[in-house]
Every structure is written in structure tokens, then in C-alpha cells.
Amino acid sequence: SKLELLTISAPAAFANDDRIVNNATNAIVTIDIGESHGSGCVISEDGYIVTNYHVVEGVEKVNVKFKNGVALEGNVVRSNSDFDLALVKVNGAGFTPIRMNTEKDIIVGIDVYAIGTPADKTLGQTVTKGIISGARKDDDREFIQTDVSINPGNSGGGLIDKKGVLIGIVNAKLVGAGIEGIGFAIPTHIVFEKLKIAYK
């Protein structure tokens, strides 16, 4: 079915100081579905959270754990399996959202940080640093290639720039003998388009 446009208020960018990345961790959550988990990015003060479709595939409700230890039930309210994106909603207000980049430009070589919950649920809001390695296309899908450290559980987490702006949703990495530092994120302009989200 066709999604109706969902409009959300644009959050303010994080203050330009030495705590930008630390502040951004408050907008990243753990998506717990029992035996497995992933990560998510809070994008509105009223509790909308972007994650990967493969993180929530097959379920309607998830447990969302925030940095402050609060855990809330979240409902999967829309998804796009073709582009591996989903939107989760938790009830409440006053959540810390992250501003998403609305531009299509991908700047190769800039510093980026991945924030998520790699490997184990106790490792929430782990930060790793790397660069944008390239802009890639696979048929009609676009990706940001990065050498930032990505592990199982990072899926759905944030790839942010040094200003604390969300530029991508961590999605996958290549694995195999001799392969290192080849990870991928879904650019945020794709999130807006494929989940039918817009800033007011």
C-alpha cells in the first residue's frame, strides 16, 4: 500500500563543541527483539526511530532501550523491505532526536562516526571512527561506503559527521578472508524518500 507523507519537526543541530559526538549518542538506541538485536536512530522528539528492515523483520513490536537505561515498547509503523528501512514509534515526548542530512551529496574522505550496539546488548551507543570511502550504487539502491568499524548489532545505527548530523543508516559490511574495512550505510535522503518522511 502507498504510504502517506509523514511530517516531523526538524531537530536543531547539536551544539558545536567538543561533546558533539557524545551528545549524538543520546539519539541512538538499541532495538531488542529477544534473541537478536540491532540499533536505531531517534529522529523526532515524539519518538519516531529509523532502523533497518532486517532488524525488525517479522515482528510488530520491539523493545527500545535508550542510553539513560529507559526501555520502552516500540511499534513498527512503516517499512520498506526493498531498501531495508523501517520506522519504529515509541509513545512519549521529549526524546533526543538527531538531525538528518537532506542533501544528496556524499563527500568522500570526510571523518565519520558510527554509533550503535555492536555484538552484545550491553555495548549500546558504542562509537567508532572512520572516513567515507566512496559513493556506491547497486541497481537503484545507493550506499555510502565507509571503513568505520561495523559489527553485527550496528545495523540500523547512525553514521554521523563531525557536526553530529546523521548522514547514513548503517546497513551492512563485507566479510571474508582478507576483507577489512568495507562497510555500507544507506544515505539519509533515501530514508526520507523510501519511508515517505519530510521535515515540516
Active site (catalytic) residues: 54, 84, 155
C-alpha cell at 65: 532501550
Q: How far is CA 86 from the centre of its chain?
A: 10
| C-alpha closest to that of 130 among 188, 179, 182, 177 | 182
**Rounded distance, CA 2 to CA 174, Å?**
33
Helices (H), the chain: 20-24, 53-56, 188-194
